[in-house]
Structure 1
Amino acid sequence: MAREITGMVERRGLGLWLTHLAMIAGVLVIFFPIWLAFVASTVTQPEIVRPPMPLWPGDQLIENYTAALFSGVNVPVLSMLGNSLIMAVGIAVGKIIISLTSAFAIVYFRFPGRNLFFWLIFLTLMLPVEVRIVPTYEVIAGFGMLNSYQGLIFPLIASATATFLFRQFFLTIPDELAEAARVDGASPMQFFWDILLPMSRTNIAALFVILFIYGWNQYLWPLLITTDPSMNTIVMGIRQMFPSGDDVADWPVIMATSILAMIPPVVVVISMQKLFIRGLVDSEK
């Protein structure tokens, strides 16, 4: 018996090492292009275009990142980062607020056709922004929201997926909890604010991370809704930095801009990592 246990431990130890080696190899494969982009953002233009490309950072980090932050094709990158941040936070917060309140109404209020309304919301999953982009543009233009943060945010804050997830979570909460709150004299909004919101904290955090990245990576809608360069987002700015015709690309500045564009999503994911993982696990339960 002792020999069998020793063999199992040895096999488990070997499997553990192989698993870690495979994970390290995967991380290196994913990280290597990011490392090359960072290296390219710290060297000069001739060092990039002349092979072989350097694999270690150069001495132009401050110069290239300063040029990226305070200059650009049409507008400084710092301004575009601010536009993207406002848009991403607005979309994430708007989606969560609307999804929470709509799921709360569908689960805890009895009104005719509530299941029909839920399935109508759910069916909008089959209509992405690209399908309804022309009528949506006409509505936003009619309200005078072109070249504005409202135009960037409002058409994208409805989320059938988030509504569905919050609805499923609310359905797992015992009815006795709502009944006890009602007996204690709590109003529906007090029950929502004091009980449901704290219980939904991890789910909100997980959805915020996903929705923030969704809003940060938007390209087509900002490209359509904005004509003023001062409203450009960072994703639009990177695309505009690529040369057209016989122009020469300033690759160090482009790579520096790409690295800067990755920083806010990475900061959000790292800062909310524990809540994000816990929210996904709780959602599966």
Structure 2
Amino acid sequence: MVENRPLGNLLSHIILIFGVALVVFPVWVAIVASTHPPGTFVRGVMPLLPGPNGWENYRTILLEGRSRAGTPPVIGMMWNSFVMAMCITLGKLAISIISAFAIVYFRFPFRIFFFWIIFVTLMLPVEVRIVPTFQVVADLGMLNSFAGLSIPLIASATATFLFRQFFMTIPEEMLEAARVDGAGPFKFFKDILLPLSITNIAALFVIMFIYGWNQYLWPLLITTDPEYFTIVMGIQRMVTGGDSEPLWHLVMATVVLAALPPVLVILFMQRLFVKGLTETEK
């Protein structure tokens, strides 16, 4: 039994509050900066209270963009990032769960060897193999396309490994019972494995969506058409593009908008996400 010590509880709460403040303060600064006119930052003083130009700043960046930096409207870049993140996420989940199912429940030659080949690709992220990957994408004519943005990033050894480990915990009796009832491999996969894997799928969905949304180097390399710019690319172009100083009020407005979709995904799927990471018995 843990003793109730008021001083210890107070110290714990102070540490927690300090930690939360340390994390939230940069977010608050970005939100405040996105509501002020551009001249505010010329004086070199960062205000800590919201300004009067919030609606105008967000309207400008959403619908007009910043033409001098070659940045299209943010709403289009957010859509591109969303499509890219969803394609990567759904592709990773589909390929990984099917691969794990084949490795665990089918007996074919060299299946363990193929699994370890997949697992070894963890040491070869896209940044390591970016030159040959770019060459393949260019030869296939997928530059400046959603296929080029998403397909090279779909394979996931991590998700395959996690699904394999989960499938190995399912009792053999369930497979035998499904066979007795006349269920084939696809029916066993659809009616038994998929429902049992919901929490794992939800946890991996959150991780993979954030991974796809935050991609920077790969879209920057294969995308030159503004119609396919992603939101992370847009932030970089707004900071470095153009001959004038960065318009920080618009940059911060873009940063706030770019953070919203991952935050919403985490909030809506928080319960399943935590359950999928912590639950050991299904």
Class of the TM-score when normalised by the shorter of the 2 chains: over 0.9
Name the counterpart of 1:55: 48
Equivalent positions of 1:119-268 (< 5 A) are: 119-244=116-241, 246-268=243-265
Matched, 1:20 2:13: yes
- Aligned CA-pair RMSD: 1.6
CA contact (8 A) 2:71 2:238 kept: no
Q: Distance in 2 between matches of 1:78 and 1:90?
A: 18
**Post-superposition offset of 1:22:** 1.1
For residue 279 of structure 2, give the secondary structure of its aligned residue in structure 1.
helix
Equivalent residues of 1:169, 1:283 under 8 A apart: no
User: Cα distance, 1:246 vs. partner?
Assistant: 4.8
Q: Give how far 1:21 is off.
A: 2.0
Distance 1:245 1:258 in 2: 18
CA distance in 1, matches of 2:219, 2:141: 15
Q: What one-letter code is carried by the residue in structure 2 that aligns with 1:89?
A: M
Report how many residues are paired: 278
Output one character per residue of 1:103-144: Cα deviation in whole Å (capped at 9) or x when no partner: 000000000100000000000111110111111111111221
Residue of structure 2 equivalent to 1:110: 107
Q: What amino acid sits opposite 1:16 in the alignment?
A: N
Preserved contact between residue 203 and residue 283 of structure 1 (Cα < 8 Å): no
Q: Distance in 2 between matches of 1:279 and 1:117?
A: 26
Deviation at 1:283, TM superposition (A): 5.3
Gaps of 5+ in 2: none
Query: Contact 1:206/1:279 (CA < 8 Å) preserved in 2?
Result: yes
Cα 1:97–1:245 change in 2 (3 A) is: closer
Which deviates the most, 263-272 or 239-248? 239-248
Distance change in 2, residues 1:74/1:247 (3 Å): same
Of the three residues 71, 74, 92, the one matched with 1:74 is: 71
Q: TM-score, normalised by structure 1?
A: 0.94
Q: What TM-score do you get using the length of structure 2 for normalisation? A: 0.95
When residues 248 and 284 of structure 1 are mapped into structure 2, their CA distance, relative to the original with a 3 A threshold, is farther
Give the Cα–Cα distance (whole angstroms) in 1 for the partners of residues 233 and 270 of structure 2: 28
Paired letter, 1:216: W
How far, CA to CA, are the matches of 1:284 and 1:266 in structure 2? 28
Q: Which ranges of structure 1 fall in alignment gaps of 5 or more residues?
A: none
Percent pairwise identity? 61
